[in-house]
Amino acid sequence: MSSDSAAPAEANASPSLTFADLGLGDSVLRAVKALGYETPSAIQAATIPHLLAGTDVIGLAQTGTGKTAAFALPILDRLTPGRKKPQALVLAPTRELALQVCEAFEQYANHRTGVHILPVYGGQGYGVQLSALRRGVDIVVGTPGRIMDHLDKGTLDLSELDYLVLDEADEMLKMGFAEDVETILASTPEDKQVALFSATMPAQIRRLSQKYLRSPEEVTVKRQTATSANIAQRYLVVSYQQKMDALTRILEVENFAAMIVFTRTKNETETVAERLRARGYAAAAINGDVQQAQRERTIQQLKDGKLDIVVATDVAARGLDVERISHVVNYDLPVDNESYVHRVGRTGRAGRTGDAISFVTPRERGRLKSIEKATKQPVTPMGLPTADDVNATRLTRFDDSITAALEQRERIDRFRDIIAHYVAHHDVPEADVAAALAVVAQGETPLLLDPEGDRPQQVGFAERSNDRDRPRREFDREERRGGPSGGRIAYRISVGRRHKVEPRQIVGALANEGGLQRGDFGRITIKPEFSLVELPELDKEALRRLERTRISGQLIELQVDRGPGGHRGRNGGQRSDKPRSSGRRGGRDERASADAKPYRKPRHRDR
């Protein structure tokens, strides 16, 4: 069926259909069986026969539907190893997805000898790529920017290309790769077979397919507006200040293998990861500022079990597919529903079960309802784990560690004599000796929390209906008092009434980026062009985190207020309302927003 003349066919996989029924050869079928695949997914069942027959294909399917195998298996089945020049090229929008696709090809080619696959992406040295290309490769998987670099240098020869795949084509165009993709397509033989996979079909993709694909078969997998049914979705209502304590308690009581914690900003990934490490968890941050080599090491450590928690932004986690991930935590709710689906989809992959927990502040109730409506699945409320919950979990783990130790019979027998010697010479019951050894093993940290001293202040939607007005009332009262209080220092920020800023926005932004608590804030004075905020003296690291913070779209340029006389503002004297000349322009902060939206420069290079 041609996509130019008829509606796309909707893919449906029969439960009785097998990969052998699709026409794949023995070597590929052995690899599929070794990986534990039994029945093809809908997109695989619909596209593999067409690709094996040499027909161009348009596959409309979202990530997580099995589309990598849909194009990788037929390519490997028809490939002729050893021709030196690339026979297949797969274009992917991000380095992570390119590596993921390359890894899948290597698994599927496990029973085919002589197949050479090369990932080509920015952030990796040219030397490795050039050496492999000189030796000869069969399949190249890369990002458009780096592929274009090789074409410009004459180091990549696509003259004998038989197969070209555009994976997540809509994402590539959103990221500004449209011109590169067209240039690459124009540099390949006209008689090649093309497979285009995209979650959506905007006009630009339609024009691209009409220009470069020949009578393609168009197959649609029903859009996944809903999250997977095997992912348990829960939410916890907390204030911003409670999030870290809530996360720590969840880590205590949840039986998780590995976890991704999603935050909204790059700074927050580092802050949360650092605080988790301080609490004894193996955690690392992934964001747009992390070098590619470090990112790859972090993901490998997560796969190998050397790392349990990755704190990431949306863009940094795209393409991250690690089987161990059992839990996703939305430390900050995403700004759109599609991002929520992508985040939650990092767990519960390939039929496995998963858990997704979202932290929701009282003002985010509308976002939560929007997510439920979009995904067509309820997100169930959960309570903040209590001290009793934590203690029950700790005792269970303590019991398990004792049981595991008892199974080491030889070591137990050796220590039995030592304990008997101590009991005989000190006249102490064996139970007391066992308890004393538990104290030694536990160290200074108490095994159990004190339930009497534990009063979690969980915030409910109804309880904080006046929360929007409370900060202004509090700080308006503070403004009528004199002088910085409690040893605080007056800091000046370059936003004021002209920018329609309110105290709650100042508190939220500084707390979010600077790791501050509500109790750290003193008096807030909002002037027409700037504001004064009393805070504890900030160290260099806190100042560094805050220097690029924005409120109402304006860089705050936080610094110690020195008053009209140029000295530190500790005496509450009169201050000028005239704005300082900062010499900075109020333009878009590309570094701070790089993880929020893809960069849309027309000629983008993934270097």
DSSP assignment of 174-243, as one string?
Answer: HTT-HHHHHHHHHTS-TT-EEEEEES---HHHHHHHHHH-SS-EEEEPPP--SPPTTEEEEEEE--GGGH
Task: Give the range among 66-70, 176-180, 442-446 with minimum mean pLDDT.
Answer: 442-446
Within a domain: residue 2? no
pLDDT of residue 331: 95
Within a domain: residue 80? yes
Over residues 506-518, mean pLDDT? 74
37/261: higher pLDDT: 261
SS (H, E, C) 14-38: CCCCCCHHHCCCHHHHHHHHHCCCC
Name the domain boundary from 453, 481, 498: 453
Q: Which of 46, 376, 365 is nearest to 237 (CA)?
A: 365
CA 313/CA 8 separation, integer angstroms: 35
Q: Is the pTM of this model over 0.85?
A: no
Within a domain: residue 3? no
pLDDT of residue 223: 52
Shared domain for 581 and 487, answered yes or no, is yes
pLDDT in tens, 164-189: 999 999 888 888 888 899 999 999 99
pLDDT of residue 28: 92
pLDDT confidence tier of residue 506, bands split at 50, 70 and 90: confident
Domain hosting residue 323, numbered range: 231-384
CB atoms within 10 A of CB 116: 16
Shared domain for 201 and 245, answered yes or no, is no
pLDDT of residue 480: 35
Coil/strand/helix, residue 1: coil
CB 97 within 8 A of CB 168: yes
Is the four-CA dihedral 521, 522, 523, 525 of positive or negative sign? negative
pLDDT of residue 10: 58
Shared domain for 37 and 122, answered yes or no, is yes
CB atoms within 10 A of CB 78: 17
CA 184/CA 53 separation, integer angstroms: 24
Shared domain for 288 and 369, answered yes or no, is yes
Rama region for 54: left / alpha / beta (φ>0; ψ in -120 to 50; rest): left
Within a domain: residue 54? yes
pLDDT of residue 502: 82
pLDDT(460) > 80:
no
Within a domain: residue 606? no
Shared domain for 402 and 364, answered yes or no, is no
- Which CATH number characterizes residue 561's domain? 3.30.70.330
CA 147/CA 167 separation, integer angstroms: 14
Shared domain for 511 and 577, answered yes or no, is yes
579/215: higher pLDDT: 215
pLDDT confidence tier of residue 153, bands split at 50, 70 and 90: very high
pLDDT confidence tier of residue 356, bands split at 50, 70 and 90: very high
pLDDT(598) > 70:
no
Shared domain for 406 and 367, answered yes or no, is no
Range picked from 383-387, 424-428, 585-589 for highest mean pLDDT: 424-428
CB atoms within 10 A of CB 428: 13
Rama region for 225: left / alpha / beta (φ>0; ψ in -120 to 50; rest): alpha
What is the chain's length? 607
- Which CATH number characterizes residue 254's domain? 3.40.50.300
pLDDT of residue 458: 42
Shared domain for 380 and 395, answered yes or no, is no
Task: Give the range among 356-370, 382-396, 458-472, 495-509 with minimum mean pLDDT.
Answer: 458-472
Tokens of 229: 């049914």
Tokens of 245: 């304590």
Over residues 249-261, mean pLDDT? 90
**303 exposed, middle or buried (CB, 10 Å; 0-12, 13-18, 19+)?**
middle
Within a domain: residue 598? no
* Cross-strand partners of 60: 198, 220
Within a domain: residue 181? yes
Shared domain for 276 and 379, answered yes or no, is yes
Amino acid identity of residue 517, one-letter, is Q
CA 585/CA 555 separation, integer angstroms: 9
Name the domain boundary from 364, 384, 404: 384
Within a domain: residue 4? no
CA 517/CA 538 separation, integer angstroms: 13
User: How high does pLDDT run on average in the chain?
Assistant: 78
Task: Give the range among 159-163, 207-211, 577-581 with minimum mean pLDDT.
Answer: 577-581
Over residues 110-130, mean pLDDT? 87
pLDDT of residue 181: 93
pLDDT of residue 151: 94
Helix spans in 443-555 (H) = 470-479, 503-514, 540-546
pLDDT of residue 578: 37
| Residues sharing a CB contact under 8 Å with residue 258, sequence separation 6 or more, in sequence order | 302, 305, 307, 308, 309, 310, 322, 324, 325, 326, 327
Angle, helices 409-426 vs 430-442, to 10°: value is 120
Instruction: Name the domain count of the chain.
Output: 4
Shared domain for 22 and 160, answered yes or no, is yes
**418 exposed, middle or buried (CB, 10 Å; 0-12, 13-18, 19+)?**
exposed
Shared domain for 18 and 129, answered yes or no, is yes
CB 522 within 8 A of CB 534: yes
Name the domain boundary from 384, 409, 424: 384
Shared domain for 506 and 433, answered yes or no, is no
pLDDT of residue 575: 37
What is the torsion angle, in degrees rounded to the nearest 10, for the CA atoms of residue 401, residue 403, residue 408 and residue 413? Answer: 110
Q: Which of 397, 230, 242 is nearest to 326 (CA)?
A: 230
Coil/strand/helix, residue 459: coil
